[in-house]
């Protein structure tokens, strides 16, 4: 028996140890994809612009095993070798690239895309009854294109997608062209804002597009015609939500407005993408029950999409803030106050297991409801500490300072200290760094 020292593979994020890659930084993806809805067949070419961070002879990209790669070039030349295994595309170059060298990686690939199995269920590319969607969080991007699939790796995108002509294709950013030819329509979207791969999406369906009232930020909807009346009722408050959140959180982060997609299928949960939120038909039943979720997803455009956690352990910076936005919308639209919501959920959390550390909940609990509710309570306690003027000034400073970049919890607690007269350390220790549930009125 030999007792070898096990060589540990370096990881970017222990919550998602197999995602993300070393040695380079991507600045732009250009995807040219054809997708046939009828047979679930995707063929694509990804052109990835990157720069090396070290001298580089071999490197990897994340890509699901369901997709096969037929050709790779790097700076116009064929590499010595490429192969796919265990969710990675491995590329070995003929010559070493110097640190700081530009790389244009072109990958031709295709297959029948399907979701990735993860700790959190199926994520990524998913067929619908009559169409498809991408639910990327947290590591689903690799189910439909080769990428450096980690939120800390933001890039700009151009997404050119062809599908059968009756379908509407929605992707992130501005629709810059739409061409129909031989039964297929090619939709080209441009997304200049740096975006994490999990927030890049594709929504394909028999959708009608409509423009909603504009309160300074254009809002569009894409939905099946049969849901139109329900939508007009259930989503009526969105322009007012947008107005409120711009006032409280600062400028809407994207140049290209906001689009809400409602799928013809039911979805377990709504989800956020850059500039887009996706709801299921069950969230649009004409009874207005999804209002808090509508506020939640909209708030992610600031918290999560623009200001993004550098590592998944800081997920409360997305979910706690989006949950608090639900309470703020309630308070400002004639519903319960944020304080009433905080007390309501505090009682509920008092009966839940107290084994969760908000600042590092662990991969299995990163989407646990306690992260959402305790995160929102933490913000509420902070707000009472700072007063409304300072608290909302802090939120606007936060979204402006870290717009389209990535953050850790210390960035937030550090910034908050500038808005407080006394140390916030006891507050953070109690709410972020201890599993015990503090009393709402202390410290
Ligand atoms: Zn959320």
Mean per-residue pLDDT pooled into runs of 10, the chain (443 residues): 59 96 98 98 98 97 98 98 97 98 98 95 96 97 98 97 98 98 97 98 97 90 97 96 98 97 97 97 96 98 98 98 98 98 97 94 96 98 98 98 98 98 97 96 72
pLDDT of residue 443: 60
C-alpha 267/C-alpha 279 separation (Å) is 7
The CA 260 to ligand 1 mean position distance, Å, reads 15
The CA 163 to ligand 1 mean position distance, Å, reads 30
The CA 268 to ligand 1 mean position distance, Å, reads 13
The CA 361 to ligand 1 mean position distance, Å, reads 15
The CA 7 to ligand 1 mean position distance, Å, reads 37
The CA 396 to ligand 1 mean position distance, Å, reads 19
The CA 110 to ligand 1 mean position distance, Å, reads 31
Angle (CA) 19 24 25, round 5°: 85
The CA 422 to ligand 1 mean position distance, Å, reads 31
SS3 238: helix
* pLDDT tens profile 240-275: 999 999 999 999 999 999 999 999 999 999 999 999
The CA 320 to ligand 1 mean position distance, Å, reads 8
The CA 207 to ligand 1 mean position distance, Å, reads 24
* pLDDT tens profile 146-179: 999 999 999 999 999 999 999 999 999 999 999 9
The CA 319 to ligand 1 mean position distance, Å, reads 5
Residue-by-residue DSSP string for 42-95? EEEEEEEEEEESS-EEEEEEE--TTEEEEEEEETTB--SEEEEETTEEEEEEEE
How many other C-beta atoms can be found within 10 angstroms of the C-beta atom of residue 90? 15
């Amino acid at each position: 028996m030999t007792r070898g020292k096990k060589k540990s593979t370096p990881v970017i994020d222990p919550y998602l140890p197999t995602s993300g890659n070393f040695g380079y930084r991507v600045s732009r993806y250009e995807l040219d994809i054809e997708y046939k809805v009828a047979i679930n067949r995707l063929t694509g070419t990804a052109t990835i612009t990157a720069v090396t961070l070290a001298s580089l002879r071999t490197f990897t990209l994340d890509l699901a095993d369901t997709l096969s790669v037929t050709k790779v070039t790097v700076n116009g030349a064929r590499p010595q070798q490429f192969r796919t295994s265990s969710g990675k595309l491995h590329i070995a170059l003929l010559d070493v690239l110097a640190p700081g060298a530009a790389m244009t990686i072109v990958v031709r690939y295709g297959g029948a895309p399907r979701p990735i199995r993860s700790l959190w269920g199926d994520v990524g590319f998913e067929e619908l009854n009559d169409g498809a969607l991408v639910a990327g969080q947290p590591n689903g991007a690799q189910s439909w294109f080769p990428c450096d699939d980690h939120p800390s790796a933001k890039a700009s995108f151009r997404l050119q997608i062809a599908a059968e002509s009756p379908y509407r294709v929605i992707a992130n950013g501005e629709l810059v062209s739409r061409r129909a030819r031989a039964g297929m329509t090619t939709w080209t979207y441009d997304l200049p804002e740096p975006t994490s791969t999990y927030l890049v999406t594709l929504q394909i369906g028999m959708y009608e597009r409509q423009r909603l009232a504009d309160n300074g930020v254009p809002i569009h909807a894409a939905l099946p015609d049969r849901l139109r009346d329900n939508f007009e009722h259930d989503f009526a408050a969105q322009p007012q939500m947008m107005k409120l959140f711009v006032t409280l959180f600062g400028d809407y982060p994207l140049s290209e407005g906001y689009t809400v997609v409602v799928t013809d299928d039911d979805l377990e949960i709504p989800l956020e993408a850059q500039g887009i939120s996706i709801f299921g038909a069950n969230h649009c039943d004409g009874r207005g029950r999804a209002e808090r979720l509508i506020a939640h997803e909209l708030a992610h455009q600031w918290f999560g999409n623009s200001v993004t956690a550098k590592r998944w352990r800081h997920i409360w910076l997305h979910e706690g803030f989006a949950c608090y936005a639900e309470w703020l919308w309630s308070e400002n639209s004639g519903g319960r106050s944020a304080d009433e919501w905080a007390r309501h959920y505090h009682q509920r959390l008092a009966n839940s297991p107290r084994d969760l550390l908000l600042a590092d909940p662990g991969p299995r609990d990163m989407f646990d409801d306690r992260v959402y509710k305790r995160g929102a309570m933490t913000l509420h306690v902070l707000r009472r500490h700072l007063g409304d003027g300072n608290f909302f000034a802090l939120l606007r400073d936060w979204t402006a300072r870290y717009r389209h970049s990535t953050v850790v919890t210390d960035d937030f607690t550090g910034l908050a200290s500038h808005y407080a007269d006394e140390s916030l350390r006891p507050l953070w220790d109690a709410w972020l760094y201890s599993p015990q549930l503090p009393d709402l009125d202390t410290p």
